[in-house]
Amino acid sequence: MEERYSKDLIIDCLDKLDNLNDYTWEDILDKYGLEISTSHVRKMAYGFRAYRNSFGGENDSEFKEKMLKIKTEKVKLSDLRCETNRQVRNLARIENIVDLLKDNIDNLSEEKPMINQLLLHKNSTSGNDGIIILSDLHIGIEVNNSVNEYNIDIAKERLNKIVYKTIENGKRHNIDKLFVVLNGDLLSGELHSSIKLSNAETLTSQIVLVSEIISEVIKKLSDNFFVSVIQNNGNHEAVELIKDDRNNKNNYSMLINEMIKLRTRDLANVMFLDSINNGEMTVFRVKNLNVVATHGDQIKLNNCAEQLTMAVGFRPQLVLLGHYHKPMMLSQLNTDIYVNGSLVSTDDYAFKLKLYNPPSQTMLIVNDEGVDASYILRV
């Protein structure tokens, strides 16, 4: 064996046996130009290792540290591959479901078409726009306790009342446009074990049901106003049940949003605005106001304006939230923050904590100066 490569060859052979490199025995032969068989070089490697171990090299602290580091990196790489494959499967699943359901939605559109009979056009502007926040509907859950009863039929009944009051207030203020903010947690999902037990519908059924119910709401509102639809993710639509595993890309809101778009595509008085950060929030303008809408599970309420300013690069004048199931209004510096109520009201989880707020959604009337009127639409 030539002196010029003997040391490197020994190191590579030992590392090969200890799984510290990715060489094959053929690679080692090619690297050093050895004209011997792979069996021969492998036997040499075992001899090198026996010689090293006879001097305690396997117990050497530097060797152990090196082995531990390599094994740790391999575990990290394996975990990364598993995580990447899982995310790809989840995303592909959502995209494939849309394709699979497209024909069914097309058939439903033929049987039960959604068309605006009249293209709305205003000859003059009133200076007012409306915003209706629809969030925390938790459709699919069943509740029956001493302060609240909720199921799919009651959800539809409450939503019909919300639609009626929205149209009534919108016409009273002669609004130019209505922004429908779908601000997360439209379905119950399977976030916790207690929720799974309370769900009357499977997750798939919830997705289809919510998409159709919201599409019908948009249809009714768009018969009276020009409607811009905003849709943001909620934590109950998350694909991942473990909080630390969740990301914005893996969220069933994406599927619900696409199904609603397909179902309402023939409504001439409807347009959809794009969200940012993979559905986490939407930035838009209402009159002269910069508005940010997001569900609220990924921000802290007492630091909301500052966090959202950092996220979007400017300080919004108006922030719209859901998540807390309690209608509130607060101001932080020059930002007004409106927190929506919930349609579900007190579910089993809230009942255990003795929390009660009547079912409601929030409507705002906005002009160039800011929020001119706000309504808690209790149902």
Helices 203-222 and 152-172 sit at what angle, rounded to 10 degrees? 20
pLDDT at residue 198 in the model: 44
Q: Are 197 and 140 in contact (CB under 8 A)?
A: no
Q: What is the DSSP letter of 238?
A: B
Q: Are 41 and 47 in contact (CB under 8 A)?
A: no
pLDDT of 89 higher than 80: no
Buried-exposed string 303-330: b where 16+ CB fall within 10 A, e elsewhere: ebbeebbebbeebbbbbbbbbbbebeee
Confidence of residue 239 (pLDDT cuts 50, 70, 90): low
The torsion angles phi and psi of 298, rounded to 5 degrees, stand at -105, 15
Is the pLDDT higher at 235 or at 88?
Answer: 235
Reference 187, options 154, 250, 257, 138; nearest CA is: 138
Task: Output the furthest CA–CA distance in the chain (Å, rounded).
Answer: 96
Reported as a single tens digit per residue, the pLDDT across 314-360 is 999 999 999 999 999 999 989 999 999 999 998 877 888 888 889 99
Helices 38-54 and 25-32 sit at what angle, rounded to 10 degrees? 90
| Average pLDDT value over all residues in the chain | 82
In the block, which residue shows the tokens 């539809």? 156
Q: What percentage of the chain reaches a pLDDT higher than 90?
A: 45
Q: Are 351 and 145 in contact (CB under 8 A)?
A: yes
CA atoms within 13 A on the CB side of 332: 16
Reported as a single tens digit per residue, the pLDDT across 204-226 is 677 888 999 999 999 999 999 99
pLDDT at residue 70 in the model: 57
